[in-house]
Amino acid sequence: MRSRLYDLTALSLPGGLVSLPALREYQLAGVNKTLQTVHSRSRFYAGRADIPPAIERLEQLADLPFTTENDLKRGLEDFLCISPGAVARIVTLPTSGSTGPSKRIGFSDGDIEAIITFFRYGMQEMAGPGMRVMIGLPGTAEYGVPHLLATALQTFGVTPLPYGAITDFDAAARFVCQQQPNCIVAHPVQLLGLAAHMAQLPTPTPAWPQTVLLTGDTVSPHLLARVERGLHCKAFNHYGSTEMGYGGAVDCGCHQGLHLRENDLFFEVVHPDTGRPVPPGQAGELVFTTLTRTAMPLVRYRTGDMTCLQPATCSCTSPLPRISPPWRRAGGRLRVGGFELTLPLLDDCVFALDGITDCQLWIKPDDTLILEIWTTGAGQDLAGLPLRLQQTELLQKLAAHRPLEVVTAPPGAPPPCTQGKRLFRAFRA
Ligand SMILES: [Zn+2]
């Protein structure tokens, strides 16, 4: 079956048919609408010689300047293109640096409606009328992600089961057994922890969900496969950020990359250092321009997330472009000897081993690396996992350049997935 985002995009195109030329023509019109709007109404973009009021070809967008997280620190007012009274929701986010001002993102009623529509179509990949979806995401604010997701699910007859972040696997497993959701939406590593915990439960047999949606962090293929095996379900992967209006991309049942939200956003993948577009198949930073946003349109916003445009067409036959699962560049890479260790590389190595449910790479002041792992599993040699990890090609490569220890977290230590974004961290004694 074709990606549901195909159906969503088709709504915007003449004749309801998605072809790449028709999509690009629609996106060029959307980019120009955004350029005209910000040119006349945004304090940050207005009157700038390097921001033209229109372009003739989408390729010309690559010559325009980027908008960065630093720019957003100037304040919401500098980016607003509607009156402050018409802003329906403001989200305040911490910025990458540990200090300095936070960034604020504003949405209009129309922007919120577009988010709900994206969720409605994206969720139809994994849930249908009469089903129940457990929302294992943090936050209770009106217009926050769990609230908007619940609203979107109700529009097609699905009952949302709000739960919150999965920080206590036992409590979450009890909730799943009692409520028997058909689908669970949650953080990838939290779901892996839940799957490992549920696999150990005594009778009665747990009620397994049929599908899960992993969202909010990097997803390695091994992790996705283990969640599928552990929960006896089909797993889907979603990527998004507040700046892009929560939703950005979601995979179809073919698992060949994430289809992009092309009806609301125009995406580019650029070299993180030169800023020039990179060809499909090559990793670069994901950049987007909003096409339909009214409160706070953004031109060429640098997400700080690395990804790769997939070169071939998806088996679902949708012509919509796809990306590989993105990962955070800041805090998720480390130069060791002659190569760059990234969070996806580490995840691929660590989550390939059954029994490991989470990990944290610590960097000591003397450059020693400590890889701490969390383990769960009945009938497995958990004590032997550190040694098995040390024997992997990746860790052998690391150990050739830096002292490296692999340790198992002490019993009861909260896993990193329950503490926010997973990053490489400086060791705190
Ligand atoms: Zn597909």
Looking at the structure, give the CATH architecture of the domain made up of residues 1-326: 3-Layer(aba) Sandwich (3.40)
- According to the model, what pLDDT value does residue 96 have? 65
Residue 363, CA atoms < 13 Å, CB-side half-sphere: 14
Question: What are the residue boundaries of the structural domains of the chain, listed by start?
Answer: 1-326, 333-426
Identify the weakest region by mean pLDDT among 107-116, 203-212, 356-365. 203-212
Q: What is the mean pLDDT of residues 29-51?
A: 95
CATH superfamily for 333-426 is ANL, C-terminal domain (3.30.300.30)
- According to the model, what pLDDT value does residue 35 have? 97
Q: What is the pLDDT of residues 59-70, one digit of tens each?
A: 999 999 999 999
Ion ligand 1: residues, CB within 5 A, are 3, 252, 254, 314, 316, 318
- According to the model, what pLDDT value does residue 245 have? 95
Per-residue burial over 159-191, b if 16 or more Cβ lie within 10 Å, else e, is: bbbebbbbbbbeebbebbeeeebbbbbbbbbbb
Determine the Cα–Cα distance for residues 181 and 212; give it in Å rounded to an integer.
10
Cα of 227 from ligand 1 centre, angstroms: 20
Cα of 32 from ligand 1 centre, angstroms: 28
Whether the Cβ atoms of residue 225 and residue 353 lie closer than 8 Å to each other? no
Q: Quick one: pLDDT band at residue 120, thresholds 50, 70, 90?
A: very high
Of residues 424 and 137, the one with the higher pLDDT is 137
- According to the model, what pLDDT value does residue 13 have? 87
- According to the model, what pLDDT value does residue 65 have? 97
Whether the Cβ atoms of residue 285 and residue 73 lie closer than 8 Å to each other? no
To 5 degrees, how large is the angle CA 365–CA 383–CA 426?
15
Q: What is the pLDDT of residues 277-286, one digit of tens each?
A: 999 999 999 9
Q: Quick one: pLDDT band at residue 428, thresholds 50, 70, 90?
A: low
Cα of 44 from ligand 1 centre, angstroms: 37
Q: How high does pLDDT run on average in the chain?
A: 91
Highest mean pLDDT among 11-25, 120-134, 188-202: 120-134
User: pTM, whole model, 2 decimals?
Assistant: 0.93
Q: Quick one: pLDDT band at residue 425, thresholds 50, 70, 90?
A: confident
Q: What is the mean pLDDT of residues 49-72?
A: 95
Whether the Cβ atoms of residue 407 and residue 386 lie closer than 8 Å to each other? yes
> Do 1-326 and 333-426 fold alike per CATH?
no
Q: Which of 132, 175, 130 is nearest to 150 (CA)?
A: 132
Cα of 187 from ligand 1 centre, angstroms: 22
Cα of 252 from ligand 1 centre, angstroms: 5
Cα of 9 from ligand 1 centre, angstroms: 13
Q: What is the mean pLDDT of residues 344-349?
A: 92
Cα of 353 from ligand 1 centre, angstroms: 28
Element (H, E) at 169: helix 169-179
Query: Beta-carbon neighbour count of residue 20 at 10 Å?
Result: 11
CA dihedral 261, 74, 295, 122 (to 10 degrees): 20
Q: What is the pLDDT of residues 245-266, one digit of tens each?
A: 999 999 988 889 999 999 999 9
Cα of 117 from ligand 1 centre, angstroms: 19
Cα of 251 from ligand 1 centre, angstroms: 6
Cα of 134 from ligand 1 centre, angstroms: 24
Determine the Cα–Cα distance for residues 123 and 186; give it in Å rounded to an integer.
13
Q: What is the pLDDT of residues 367-408, one digit of tens each?
A: 899 999 999 877 778 899 999 999 999 999 999 999 999 999
Determine the Cα–Cα distance for residues 127 and 380; give it in Å rounded to an integer.
34
